[in-house]
Amino acid sequence: EEEGDLAERFLQLEREQSALLQALPPFGDPVSHVYHPLDYAWEPHCDFVRRYCRTPKRVLFLGMNPGPFGMAQTGVPFGEAWHVREWLRVVGGVKKPPSEHPERPVLGLTCQRAEVS
């Protein structure tokens, strides 16, 4: 298997799963906004996967709280912007989501807030 094939297979699976999630009926009240970072933050997400998902690894996810200042900003799991940008060296453009909560703006890798969760 070519190096990088694993990352591309992983990204394809994510695209397929994301499409299935998007096809679900919308949430009702009290949910007013749903962010899909694999849509608007796809570029840094792909950079992360291509950098760090190149070879098989044993991984244990203990929890996945994307939080408004983590993955919701960067597209990287557990991805507080400073760590994604400075420690992981992930790059890529982040677009605005179609519906953005006024108290939770998406600033991408320039976000200065820390994820407290």
CB 44 within 8 A of CB 74: yes
pLDDT digits (tens, 9 = 90+) for 73-96: 999 988 899 999 999 999 999 999
Q: What's residue 15's pLDDT?
A: 96
How many Å is the maximal CA-CA distance in the chain? 47
Domain ranges of the chain: 6-87
Residue 37, pLDDT > 90, answer yes
pLDDT digits (tens, 9 = 90+) for 62-76: 665 667 899 999 999
